[in-house]
Amino acid sequence: MTAAPTLTAALASAGVPIELRDLSAAYGEHVILRDLTLSVTPGERVALVGASGGGKTTLLRALAGLIPTQGTLHIGTGAPVRTRVMFQEDRLLPWLGALDNVALGLARPERHRAARALRDVGLAGRERAYPHELSGGQRQRVALARALAHRPDLLLLDEPFGALDALTRADMHGLLDTLLTDTGATTLLVTHDLDEALKLTDRVLLLRAGQVALDLPVPLPRPRRRLDTEPLRAQLETQLH
């Protein structure tokens, strides 16, 4: 596994608090989130797990401001919040090279952050490579660099490694763990992989029928091995079945 690089201060950000009170969201008459209440502290990493249809992705969409909601939703302390979303699909533009994909949305004076982000995800020298010239893991690294180059206060990850093979996924786990520590961004991660949730985050929330069925702290030092997280994994599996 390649050692993860250290993120420079140029890409670091300050995490933001999140306060949800009686938050509800629906698609037509189909209610997905039901009076959900949740607090997240600045810089905290939270995993969202549970069966499909439980509200995980809907919660991320609500936090990103992509869907209407009812109830109270507060992010930050009043100043504008930089929010970035990373999906399972890399969503790179095929006609742009890696550097130009990372630099999307950045003003010209900020483009140096795109090059810095590519170096930090281990892709120095591949700035001109087009998406079809990169492996799946490398494309996800570009997508991660694009999110980090904007110095997000809030990073929303929707199963970003679900399509990768086991070895590449493990490599991305190590990289993301280091980069999140360096950035300080508040992070919510949707995943079906309990090992991923327990390895990367400070809390694991089990969502069921649009509500928090379990709020499980993960008070373990990093880096974490699967052996370290086995008791917590067993507790989660009991609640899932």
Give the pLDDT confidence score for residue 178 in this predicted structure: 86
pTM score, whole prediction:
0.89
**Confidence at 226, pLDDT banded by 50, 70, 90:** confident
Model confidence over 166-222: pLDDT tens digits? 888 888 888 888 888 888 899 999 999 999 999 999 999 999 999 999 999 999 988
Topology of the domain covering 9-94+152-240: Rossmann fold (3.40.50)
Model confidence over 85-120: pLDDT tens digits? 998 888 999 999 999 999 998 888 888 889 989 988
Q: How far apart are CA 4 and CA 63, in angstroms?
A: 29
Domain ranges of the chain: 9-94+152-240
Burial of 197 (0-12, 13-18, 19+ CB in 10 A): buried
Q: What are the strands of the beta sheet with 70-75, ordered from one edge? A: 30-40, 18-27, 70-75
- Short-list 225, 163, 167, CA closest to 192: 163
